[in-house]
Every structure is written in structure tokens, then in C-alpha cells.
Amino acid sequence: MKCVLGFDGGGTKTECVLMDESGAVLARSRSGASNAVNVGAKASAAALGAAGTEALRSAGASPSDVAYILAGISGAGEPNVRAEIQDNLKPCFPNATIVITSDLILSLAATGEIPSLVVIAGTGSAVLGRTSRLRLTRAGGFGPIIGDPGSANDVGRKATALCFQKFLNAEKSQLSADILRSFACKWGQFVNLVRQEPTVIFPKIFPIVAKAAESGDPSARKLLTSAAHDLQEQVLEVLHQLQLENANFFLAKTGGVFDGSAFLSAEFDRLVREIAPEVRIGPLPRPVAESAAQLARDALTSPLEIPES
């Protein structure tokens, strides 16, 4: 029995769908982070291998049954990174054709519409749009160092800077107290944690900010409103490049930032409708990993064309 694997790999988790030749989903599984920028290509491949192996185990299938793999991985925009992930993954699935691409590409394909935009806001952030199958425009997605505006990492960084300033000014801050309570440490210890592992700690601050915003904390709401504006600016850049400002199109939202903050999600919707009155906003119609598996299944009988992001 031939089967295929589709993956959606991000900064928090890796999702996998195992599908047979008929298009039936045989199993779903998860493993750890596979963002190639954060964990490196070797660890990214290990997360893919772990998720794929678990899906096969659940379905009673063998690695030798896998004929095609399509994986959308955040941070895998560079050809050399994709090649390294592929080389490390190949021993796990020796009979498979393996294609590694950006998670942005597969998220956009999962919208099922042209024209469409997808806004990913999780550990990182980016916007990708298309007006034809191979004509794409992107904004953001540059990683935690160069910048992922509106991401969980970015919100966590800004929250830390805000609380640091209040600490220096000897000002009381409920948000600071919430953060220190969550990490069970004093301010000096927390700052040391941040300096040691910023890309690990900053995303963990986001849910604290989101919870505070739901409780009405003004500092938290200001941070999330700023994040919504940052995401809107990226959407505006893509709309301008594709000339979609006045068009009727679908915009899909995905990622832990939208899922984790109703306040930010609603503010983002409001801001986007200001610049695109005819937009239809909603979640992805189906999971990215399932879309990847379907594309991999189709590739068994016809060539797969993956545009560059």
C-alpha cells in the first residue's frame, strides 16, 4: 500500500497527516518544534521523523510504504536549509520522494481560493498572497532577529521591554507581576532567563499578555493593539503589491496569536476591513498538514509545482 505524509512544522509543534492513495486520512500525529531557524535543520528533520513514525505506527503501516512527503516548515525559506532537512529525513523514509517548502506556501494553498491571502501569526509572523497559482507576494517572515512584527515572539519582547522600564522607574505593574508569577522568579532572574534564551522565553509571555488583556489590563491591550497594527501593515503591503485593496477576496488567519487572543483577533479584523472593505476573513478551511498530504497524494500521478515564497 502506497501512502503519503503531509507536515506543517512551526515554532511550537509539528503536525502530520498520513493519507493513502485514495485520499483517505489514515492517521494524524504531532511532535515538537521544527522551525528551522529556531531549532536547526537536523532537529527539524528529527521532529518530522518522529511525527511521521508515530502516524505510521498508529495506522499499522511501514516507513517503506511512504511514497511521497510534502512538508511545509517555518524558517525553511533558504534552499540550503531545505536540502539539509531533506537529507536528514531521507533515512527515515528511504522510498519516499521528499519535498520541503515553506509553511507559508502550504498555508496559502490551504485557503482553496484565488485570489487569497494567508496571515500566519504564531511564534513568528508573515503574510502571503496570490492572484494566480504561481504569482505570490510576501511581507514579513524574516525571523526573530530581523523581525516578525505582530508575532508571539515580538509581543513578548515588547512586553519585557515595557515591564523593564517600569521596573527601572520603580512603577507598579500588574503585567510585570503576572509575568514574574508565571515564571516563578524575581525580576533579575527573569531578565537572565530572557538573555539566555530570548526566542524560547518571549513566545511564552504572549499568553500572559493575552490573559491580562481579556481582564482589561491597559498595558496588555496596548501591546496587542500594536501587534494587530503590525499585522495590518503587512497585509497592506501584500494588498498593494497584488492590487487587491478594492477586490473581493478571502483572507485566512492561522496561528497561536489569533487562537490565543480574542481581543487581538477582533482588533485585527477591524483594522483589515478599514483597508479592504470587500475582504472575507476566516480560518483556514482545512489544516495545513492535511492540505500538504493531499498535494503529496496528487503528486503521485502528476508533477508537483511549488512556487517560491
pLDDT tens track for 226-248: 999 999 999 999 999 999 999 99
Q: Residue 309: inside a domain, yes or no?
A: no
Question: Between the CA atoms of 42, 68, 82 and 142, what dihedral angle is there, to the nearest 10 degrees?
Answer: -100
The model's pTM is: 0.83
Read off the pLDDT band of 12 (50, 70, 90): confident
73 located within any domain: yes
Same domain flag for 281 and 291: no
For residues 127 and 74, state if they share a domain: no
Domain count, the chain: 2
Is the residue at 59 inside a domain? yes
Q: Which CATH number characterizes residue 153's domain?
A: 3.30.420.40
Asked if residue 297 has pLDDT above 90, the reply is yes
Specify whether 183 is located in the same domain as 273: yes
Instruction: Please give the single-letter amino acid code of residue 221.
Output: R
Residue 303 is assigned to a structural domain of this protein: no
Question: pLDDT tens, 138-155?
Answer: 999 888 888 899 999 999
Q: What is the mean pLDDT of residues 155-172?
A: 95
Average pLDDT score, the chain: 93
The reported pLDDT for the residue numbered 128 is 94
Distance set, CA 230 to CA 66, 151, 190, 256 (Å): 41, 9, 26, 16
Tell me the mean pLDDT in the region 84-112.
92
Domain of residue 210: give its range. 111-285
pLDDT of residue 309 exceeding 60, the answer is no
Q: Note whether 87 and 159 are same-domain residues.
A: no
Tell me: do 207 and 253 sit in the same domain: yes
Q: What is the pLDDT of residue 308?
A: 61
pLDDT for res 307: 65
Helix (H) or strand (E) holding 17: strand 14-20
pLDDT band at 102 (very low <50, low <70, confident <90, very high): confident
Q: Assess whether 24 and 89 both reside in one domain.
A: yes
Looking at residue 65, the DSSP 8-state letter turns out to be G
Judge if 207 and 237 occupy the same domain. Answer: yes
pLDDT over 90, % of the chain: 83
- Please give the average per-residue pLDDT across 70-94, as a whole number: 91
Residue 82 forms part of a structural domain: yes
Same domain, 115 and 158: yes
- Residues 86, 148, single domain; the answer is no
Between CA 71 and CA 47 the distance in angstroms is 11
Same domain, 267 and 239: yes
Does one domain contain both 11 and 40? yes
- Please check the confidence at residue 105 and state whether its pLDDT lies above 70: yes
**In a shared domain, residues 230 and 275:** yes
Q: Residue 305: inside a domain, yes or no? A: no
